[in-house]
Amino acid sequence: MIRFVVGFLLLAGAPAAAGQETHRVPGAEAWRAARAAGFEFHPVLPDDRFILSGARDGAAATLKSCASSHAPCESEARLVEGAIEILPLDCGGCERSLVFELYAGRALAEGWRIVEVEIVGRDWSFEREPARGTADPAFALRVDGPAGRAAVAALTLEGPAGAPWTEAFAPPGSR
């Protein structure tokens, strides 16, 4: 399993800004909180031959390719509880490269920012990195087939001292 961390160099051992506190949140917990708050997690449809089965919340979405409107569609990839997996196809080891949007559609609550994203998996790369140091946690991963997979192992968030990290994902006006 390959582990990759994107973050500020100054984070290593550096304290949070005055009145701020950092929280390293396991990926599955961050996904649950963000999903409940309306953040989006979904594959990007490569062209009009693809359809999305499931919601854009990353709970259980499948990307399917349809050769024609008369042929059955074939599942190419799935996003389950925030984890991405390219599915094997009966095409002799054909290569695929698919993009997935994570933590999209909303900003973090006021006073919170994304500091670091830790990804685990294989055959993946950032299509678009998170805007570290801002309230925009959205990023896109490109996952390659035939057997690529990726998941967020952890997010590091910075927010008001003493506030629970779950407040970072709170809808506007709910705090």
- What are the tens digits of pLDDT across the range 19-56? 999 999 999 999 999 999 999 998 998 888 888 888 77
Chain segment 89-130, per-residue pLDDT in tens: 776 657 789 999 999 999 999 999 999 999 999 999 999 999
Indicate whether 11 pLDDT > 60: no
Does 163 have pLDDT greater than 70?
yes
AA letter at 29: E
User: Is residue 9 predicted with pLDDT exceeding 50?
Assistant: no
The answer to whether residue 12 sits within a structural domain is no
* pLDDT, tens only, 77-90: 888 888 999 888 77
What is the Cα–Cα distance from 38 to 49, expressed in whole angstroms?
A: 27
- 15: in domain: no
- E strands within the chain? 2-7, 20-26, 40-43, 50-53, 60-65, 74-80, 83-86, 97-104, 113-122, 124-128, 139-144, 149-160
Residue 102: its pLDDT value, please? Answer: 94
Regarding pTM above 0.95, the answer is no
Q: Confirm whether 99 is domain-assigned.
A: yes
Total domain count, the chain: 1
Residue 50 lies in a domain: yes
Looking at residue 28, its pLDDT comes to 93
Burial of 136 from C-beta contacts in 10 A (0-12 / 13-18 / 19+) = middle
The chain-wide mean pLDDT, for the chain, equals 85
CB-based contacts of 57, cutoff 8 Å, min separation 6: 35, 40, 41, 42
For residue 96, the enclosing domain spans 2-6+20-169
pLDDT bracket for residue 149 (50, 70, 90): very high
pLDDT at residue 10, rounded to an integer: 35
The pLDDT of residue 159 is 97
Average of pLDDT values for 162-168?
97
State residue 51's pLDDT score. Answer: 83
